[in-house]
A and B are shown apart, each in its own frame.
Chain A
Amino acid sequence: MLFEALLHEKVDTIFGIPGGAIISVYDELCDYQDKIRFFLFRHEQGATHAADGYARSTGKPGVVLVTSGPGATNTVTAIATAYMDSVPLVVITGQVPTSMIGTDAFQEADVTGITMPITKHNHLVTSIEELPRVIKEAFHLATTGRPGPVLIDLPKDVQIAEGEFNYPNDIDIPSYRPTTRGHPKQIKKAMELLKNSKKPLVIVGGGANLSGTMDLVNAFIDKFGIPVVHTLMGHGVNPRDERLYFGGIGMHGTVYGNYAVTHSDLLIALGVRFSDRILGNPKKFAPGARIVHVDIDPAEIGKNVRVDVPIVGDLKSVLKEFLNFDFETDFSEWVKELQGVKERFPLGYRKGKYIKPQYVVEKASELFPDDTVVVADVGQNQMWVAQFYRFKHPRSFLCSGGLGTMGFALPAGIGAKIGNPNREVLVIAGDGGFQMNIQELMTINRYKLPVKVIILDNNALGMVRQWQQLFFKCRYSATLLDDNPDFAGIARVVGINARRVEKPEEVDAALEELANSKSPTLLHVLVDPRENVLPMVPSGGNLAEPLTDAPLDSGIVEKIRGGSDE
């Protein structure tokens, strides 16, 4: 009955691992092989991240099927990751029979209790009769309003119970009716402010990707000639006039992007949640600006910053309303000012004897097609991708933004490839995070998925090492991974093409080979272990005062590579 319901929701792909408390569902799966593709992973966290990568890259909900107890608890990190970034997932967990719930039975865990704060909604199914409605509601809740993961806990006796299958056509949850149309009065007010603004700035957030409205965002920017910046999750904005684009903002945003925020007189925030990584010091954030905040979730408005014009609604409908307005604007002076800052403080890095991670990212950005899905892990690698890879399409940059889950990239990349067989998928991970879900290399090989992987190996948990260098007097407590394995060797053992790259002059050819390869391929790139992510606004600092330079600590090279840097 479960699969009939899933077919009604147009599910054709499921990620998971079987187990004792979900065995009968997996048995039934045999009868649906022609309609539903199932992908077996090597760890439930991997399966759930894969469903997440699938969902982020396609916009369709990712479906996960795992067993009770440890199977379910293994999904927790990945569910929390999806929750923080508002990704639609439906996670179905097996549960011990209803008669045994509460008895500490084998592989029993209170999964609805555990996942309550990290799901949009969860439900323990107690009878077969309610199952169709519960599934229908789960997909509705996961994909509408502010999307998010929904968990269904399915006891073993309910799985095998017989019942009449009546799938509801409509859904009505009176207590759940997200506002989609922005208030006309507020929309008018926002546009009045724009008309009178001298220095407006659009901030694009993850909401623009989630709602599939990047085209409208671009159109809005182009129509009024407004400069634009974006958050980590808002990558993919691409105005026709490139001169309006000022990159990312926040802790590792560009100097000019953060300057634009600080000197703007009107921020139009589209689908952002003003996280602490964006705000720095909230009291010093955008001191001269009125703030228009458009979001589908009313709880985000006014949560972290003061808002002058709150607009609760779906970006699509609100942007369409914005585009109905017609008036002349000329922000060329403001754009010129920002262009001046951009020329003075460009993003950059110095070349040297070692491979620079930034260069690898920059070159990959050149070589891979525009619509490539790039999946970064968490830490320095993620920030370098955010800074040096230019994304021109929505849903083309995936990473764990809110939770910052290391180990996300590899499995999420697999999910993205499963969902986008015709797009290139490039995973860029650091050596630390890569090892946190390295077992999924086997999954790549099992399904012969032509995922491309770059490991930027700096022999360190690099972002923490950077903080230790800058704020803890170079005491590298537990961050140097001088015993990293030969990742290319591991990949080859698993059955994946791989190459180890140690010298700057090898990089271009290796990346070209990677981009042209038709099979799963991994590049293990040994990068300069001293490199830091800059600019940087220290935690809680003022966006107007970024750190733009920091010395390289050459002592590290000796410690972890056993030689000097000369």
Chain B
Amino acid sequence: MSDRQIFGGEHEHTVSVLVYNKPGVLRKIAGLFSRRGFNISSITVGDGKDPGLSRLTIVVTGDDKVIEQIQKQLYKVVEVVKVSPIDPKHRVEREMALVKVRLDGGEKIELLQLVEIFRGKIIDVSNEGVIVEITGATSKVEAFIKLLASSHKIIEIARTGKVAMNRWESSYNGEGS
């Protein structure tokens, strides 16, 4: 997915941030975003390649100037090792969602078909309903949820937020972990 145009010069932009896994780091970064008035669409955290380092994937909205400031301000946080913008043209991105759906009767087949088409999985079943796992680009996850909502009763959704990585062929490459 290329960076989504919102309006004017504003667009969605993904940055991957490598940080020392120390107490308070996430708070520092979240605090930085709110203090500077940057808009976070999603943020994910997890271990990276090296022990002691974590990788954050942050999706932010703003114009080019804001995006530049975000990168510079992130570097000022002492625990931040590397800020890597994610190439809008050459990247892979994934997000996972768990969706709890109520089943009252005849729509089971329809649901199974939908899950099949989107290559999702049913990971929990009961008399009342199911939980579906769906993985893919954000746009795919959103399309699935939209379709599902039009025909079924969704009880609960939990999304991971996006993780992303530059493709081998991307010119943005050049960092490890």
Q: Are A121 and B78 in contact (CB under 8 A)?
A: yes
Q: Are B78 and A303 in contact (CB under 8 A)?
A: no
Contact A175 B69 (CB under 8 A): no
Whether A340 is near chain B, meaning CB under 8 Å from some CB there, is no
| Contact in complex: A299, B81 (CB < 8 Å) | no
Query: B76 near A116 (CB under 8 angstroms)?
Result: no
Q: Please, which residues of chain B bring their CB within 8 A of the CB of A175?
A: 19-20, 78-81
Q: Which residue of A lies closest to B35 (CB)?
A: A117
Interface size class of B (residues with CB under 8 A): 20 to 34
A276 to chain B minimum Cβ distance, whole angstroms, is 15
A-chain residues with CB within 8 Å of residue B19 when the two chains form the complex: 175
- Say whether A124 faces chain B, with CB atoms less than 8 Å apart: yes
> Is A174 close to B, CB under 8 A?
yes
Instruction: Indicate if the CB atoms of B24 and A299 lie closer than 8 Å.
Output: no
Residue in chain B with minimal CB distance to A145: B76
Instruction: Please tell me if the beta carbons of A116 and B28 are within 8 angstroms of each other in the complex.
Output: yes
Which residue numbers of B lie inside 8 Å of A, CB to CB?
A: 19-20, 23-24, 27-28, 31-32, 35, 65, 68-69, 72-73, 75-76, 78-81
Say whether, besides A175-B20, A299-B72, A299-B73, A113 and B78 are in contact (CB < 8 Å): no
Contact A116 B31 (CB under 8 A): yes
Q: Most chain-A Cβ atoms within 10 A of its Cβ — which of B65, B68, B72, B80?
A: B72
Contact of B72 among A113, A116, A117, A298 (CB under 8 A): A298
Q: A174-B81, A175-B81 are in contact. Are A297 and B76 (CB under 8 A)?
A: yes
- Which chain A positions have C-beta within 8 A of B35? 117
A124–B80 CB distance below 8 A: no
Q: Which chain A positions have C-beta within 8 A of B20?
A: 175
Nearest 4 interchain pairs by C-beta: A299-B72, A175-B81, A121-B78, A117-B35
Q: Which of B27, B65, B68, B73 is in CB contact (< 8 Å) with A113?
A: B27
CB distance from A76 to the nearest CB of B (A): 15
Chain B contact surface mostly: helix
- In the bound assembly, the distance between CA atoms of A299 and B75 in angstroms comes to 9
Residue of B nearest to A173 (CB): B78
Distance in angstroms from A251 CB to nearest chain B CB is 23
Contacts of A299 in B (CB 8 A): 69, 72-73, 75-76
The CA-CA distance from A112 to B20 in the complex, in Å, is: 17
24 pairs from A and B in contact (CB 8 Å cutoff)? A116-B27, A116-B28, A116-B31, A117-B31, A120-B78, A121-B78, A124-B23, A124-B24, A126-B23, A141-B78, A174-B81, A175-B19, A175-B20, A175-B78, A175-B79, A297-B76, A298-B72, A298-B75, A299-B69, A299-B72, A299-B75, A302-B65, A302-B68, A303-B69
Question: Once the chains are docked, how many angstroms separate the CA of A96 from the CA of B23?
Answer: 18
Given A174-B81, A299-B69, 5 more A-B residue pairs with CB atoms under 8 Å apart are A116-B27, A120-B76, A175-B19, A176-B78, A297-B76
In the complex formed, the residue of A with least CB distance to B68 is A302
A122 nearest CB neighbor, chain B only: B24
**Complex Cα gap A193–B80 (Å):** 36
- In whole angstroms, how far apart are the Cα atoms of A534 and B31 in the complex? 39
**Nearest chain B residue, comparing its CB with the CB of A174:** B81
**In the complex, what residues of A have CB within 8 A of residue B69's CB?**
299, 303
Q: Which residues of chain B have C-beta atoms less than 8 A from A126's C-beta?
A: 23
Distance between B61 CB and nearest chain A CB, rounded to angstroms: 19
- CB nearest to B28 among chain A residues: A116
Q: Which residue of A lies closest to B22 (CB)?
A: A123
Q: Is the CB of B72 within 8 A of A112?
A: no
Separation of A77 and B31 alpha carbons in the complex (Å): 18
Q: Looking across the interface, which residue of chain A has its beta carbon closest to that of B76?
A: A299
Provide the residues of chain B in CB contact with A141, threshold 8 Å: 78
Residues in A neighbouring B81, C-beta threshold 8 A: 174-175
Q: Give min CB distance, A294 to chain B, whole Å.
A: 16
B78 CB, nearest partner CB in chain A, Å: 5
In the assembled complex, the Cα of A303 lies from the Cα of B65 at a distance in Å of 8
Chain B nearest CB, measured from A297 CB (Å): 7
How distant is the Cα of A126 from the Cα of B31 in the complex, in angstroms?
Answer: 22
Least CB separation from B81: chain A residue: A175
Q: Which residues of A contact B28 (CB under 8 A)?
A: 116
Most buried by B among A112, A113, A126, A175: A175
In A98-149, the 8 Å CB interface with B consists of: 112-113, 116-117, 120-121, 124, 126, 141
